[in-house]
């Protein structure tokens, strides 16, 4: 990742020195001479075509790791802090009647699970209930009370869920912890309840294209905005205890157009993706005096697989413009427009160096782990 800037410099040098669009074997030899490390794993330049656009759309549809999709909620397991309501038919009525007569009996049928995972119940003693379902607890109580009651009929339920939590943080209107209950909850429900939108309900408060989903020590980068527009699969991603959903701010949710644009610009992304053609339009197109339309490059510091990529677009033909309308840019993409003829080295440096910190920061972000 840290070599992207140097590759950018190479692209400029080759473009300027050759005066024509460069070939892959030229890039490989130049790259190997300047950066030996990259010769082992070169970053190939991919020409934007209809087939490439189709492949990218298919990749986007597979943006979610399978272990998130394959998780199925289990029956709720009781933990420390949960409150259980235990009802023993016949016995409960007897205690209640005795209390009504003024007997010194306290029929407390709600039991808080202690820190060690146990509860105490009269005639059953101390019972270990942590990590067990209510049905398993019911059977334990039935076996214990069978020693003093004839065929006890018992019902157990959880009245307060306090042992398990999902954390929601970042730029939501309502962040904090959400208790895990016996009713499964999905990613869609959690995000909707936390409300990621501003007062007008339109513009998101954070970057929905890069929702951070942390589970079991791994952080996944999920383009929730894309999922919400293109599929319903997010409705089947169930959350569990310990999951963290973080909505980062929009400060880095940008694409950058540099080089020989009429108006080099950084574009803030909102809810919608932006095609290459629109980004170039916002930059007021290519500089007709200095730009080389055949040499428009898109540097992607990290794709959905965590790898850097370089794309090339030929904007000197109508076909190139049509394809640019279908090629969607991602957050943090850099569009570099090459020059016609020889370019001043200092001019190029002044255009590219401000993005060094940006590329380095992209390198330091967590990779998607499966």
pLDDT-wise least confident of 31-35, 186-190, 235-239, 342-346: 31-35
Instruction: Report which DSSP code applies to 208.
Output: G
178 contacts 166 by C-beta, under 8 angstroms: yes
> For position 240, which CATH number holds?
3.10.560.10
pLDDT at 271: 55
The reply to whether 107 and 211 lie within a common domain is: no
Largest CA distance in the chain: 102
pLDDT at 286: 92
The reply to whether 279 and 321 lie within a common domain is: yes
pLDDT at 204: 78
pLDDT-wise least confident of 127-131, 235-239, 293-297: 235-239
How far is CA 140 from its chain centroid? 41
369 domain residue, yes or no: no
Domain count, the chain: 3
Q: Helix (H, G, I), strand (E, B), or coil: what is residue 127? A: strand
The reply to whether 118 and 178 lie within a common domain is: no
334 domain residue, yes or no: yes
The reply to whether 55 and 104 lie within a common domain is: no
Residue 208 has pLDDT above 80, yes or no: yes
19 domain residue, yes or no: yes
The reply to whether 119 and 171 lie within a common domain is: no
Element (H, E) at 193: helix 187-194
88 domain residue, yes or no: yes
Domain end position, chosen among 211, 227, 247 = 247
The reply to whether 319 and 348 lie within a common domain is: yes
Residue 292 has pLDDT above 80, yes or no: yes
For 277-297, what is the mean pLDDT?
Answer: 91
pLDDT digits (tens, 9 = 90+) for 110-155: 899 999 999 999 888 999 999 999 999 999 999 998 888 788 888 9
Can you state the angle between helices 4-18 and 24-34, rounded to 10 degrees?
A: 120
Higher-pLDDT residue of 247, 270: 247
Residue 71 has pLDDT above 60, yes or no: yes
The DSSP annotation for 81-96 comes to T-EEEEEEETHHHHHH
For 334-343, what is the mean pLDDT?
Answer: 78
71 domain residue, yes or no: no
The reply to whether 106 and 176 lie within a common domain is: no
pLDDT at 239: 95
Residue 304 has pLDDT above 60, yes or no: yes
Winning range, highest mean pLDDT, from 53-67, 103-117, 161-175, 300-314: 161-175
Residue 1 has pLDDT above 50, yes or no: no
Instruction: Give residue 7's pLDDT band: very low, low, confident or very high (50, 70, 90).
Output: low
Winning range, highest mean pLDDT, from 58-72, 198-212, 336-350: 198-212
pLDDT at 345: 45
* 242 CB burial (10 A radius; 0-12, 13-18, 19+): middle
Query: pLDDT > 70: what percent of the chain?
Result: 70
145 contacts 88 by C-beta, under 8 angstroms: yes
User: What rounded mean pLDDT belongs to the chain?
Assistant: 78
Element (H, E) at 324: helix 318-324
The reply to whether 202 and 267 lie within a common domain is: no
Predicted TM-score of the model (pTM): 0.63
Strands 334-339 and 254-259: parallel
The reply to whether 153 and 236 lie within a common domain is: no
Is the torsion defined by CA of 43, 45, 50, 53 positive or negative?
Answer: positive
pLDDT at 191: 92
Domain end position, chosen among 160, 194, 224 = 160
Residue 20 has pLDDT above 70, yes or no: no
73 contacts 237 by C-beta, under 8 angstroms: no
Beta bridge partners of 275: 328
pLDDT at 44: 86
Where in the sequence is the domain holding 195, given as residue range(s)? 163-247
The reply to whether 176 and 242 lie within a common domain is: yes
For 91-112, what is the mean pLDDT?
Answer: 61
75 domain residue, yes or no: no
CA distances to 44, 68, 118, 142, 247 from 125, rounded to whole Å, are 69, 41, 10, 12, 47
Higher-pLDDT residue of 33, 276: 276
68 domain residue, yes or no: no
pLDDT at 274: 85
CB atoms within 10 A of CB 148: 11
CA angle at 173 for the pair 167 and 175, rounded to the nearest 5°: 15
> For position 105, which CATH number holds?
3.30.1950.10
Among 40, 45, 37, 39, smallest CA distance to 14 is for 45
Instruction: Give residue 57's pLDDT band: very low, low, confident or very high (50, 70, 90).
Output: confident
pLDDT at 69: 83
67 domain residue, yes or no: no
Residue 9 has pLDDT above 60, yes or no: no
Instruction: Report which DSSP code applies to 205.
Output: S
The reply to whether 256 and 349 lie within a common domain is: yes
pLDDT at 29: 32
The reply to whether 227 and 271 lie within a common domain is: no
As a whole number of angstroms, the distance between CA 5 and CA 144 comes to 70
Strands 165-170 and 244-247: parallel
Domain end position, chosen among 96, 126, 160 = 160
């Amino acid at each position: 990742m840290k070599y992207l800037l140097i590759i950018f410099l190479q692209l400029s040098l080759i473009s300027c020195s050759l005066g024509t669009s460069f070939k892959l074997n030229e890039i490989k030899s130049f790259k190997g001479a300047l950066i030996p490390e990259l010769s082992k794993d070169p970053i190939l330049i991919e020409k934007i075509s209809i087939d490439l656009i189709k492949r990218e759309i298919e990749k986007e549809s597979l943006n979610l790791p399978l272990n998130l999709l394959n998780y199925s909620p289990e029956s709720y397991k009781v933990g420390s802090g949960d409150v259980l309501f235990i009802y023993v038919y016949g016995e409960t009525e007897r205690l209640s009647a005795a209390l009504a007569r003024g007997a010194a009996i306290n029929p407390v049928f709600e039991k808080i699970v202690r820190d060690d995972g146990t509860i105490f119940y009269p005639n059953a003693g101390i019972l270990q209930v942590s990590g067990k379902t209510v049905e398993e607890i019911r059977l334990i109580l039935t076996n214990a009370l069978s020693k003093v009651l004839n065929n006890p009929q018992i019902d157990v339920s959880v009245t307060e869920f306090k042992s398990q939590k999902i954390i929601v943080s970042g730029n939501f209107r309502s962040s904090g912890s959400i208790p895990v209950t016996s009713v499964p909850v999905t990613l869609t429900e959690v995000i909707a309840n936390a409300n990621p939108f501003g007062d007008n309900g339109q513009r998101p408060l954070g970057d929905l294209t890069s929702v951070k989903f942390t589970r079991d020590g791994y952080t996944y980068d999920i383009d929730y905005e894309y999922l919400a527009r293109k599929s319903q699969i997010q409705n089947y991603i169930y959350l569990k205890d310990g999951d963290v959903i973080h909505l980062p701010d929009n400060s880095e949710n940008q694409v950058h157009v540099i080089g020989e644009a009429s108006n080099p610009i950084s574009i803030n992304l909102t809810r919608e993706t932006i095609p290459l053609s629109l980004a170039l339009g916002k930059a007021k197109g290519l500089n007709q005096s200095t730009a080389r339309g055949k040499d428009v490059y898109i540097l992607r510091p990290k794709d959905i697989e965590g790898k850097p990529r370089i794309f090339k677009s030929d904007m000197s033909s109508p076909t190139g413009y049509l394809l640019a309308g279908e090629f969607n840019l991602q957050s943090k993409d850099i569009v570099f427009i090459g020059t016609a003829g020889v370019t001043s080295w200092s001019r190029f440096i002044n255009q590219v160096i401000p993005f060094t910190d940006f590329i380095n920061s992209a390198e330091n972000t967590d990779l998607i782990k499966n």
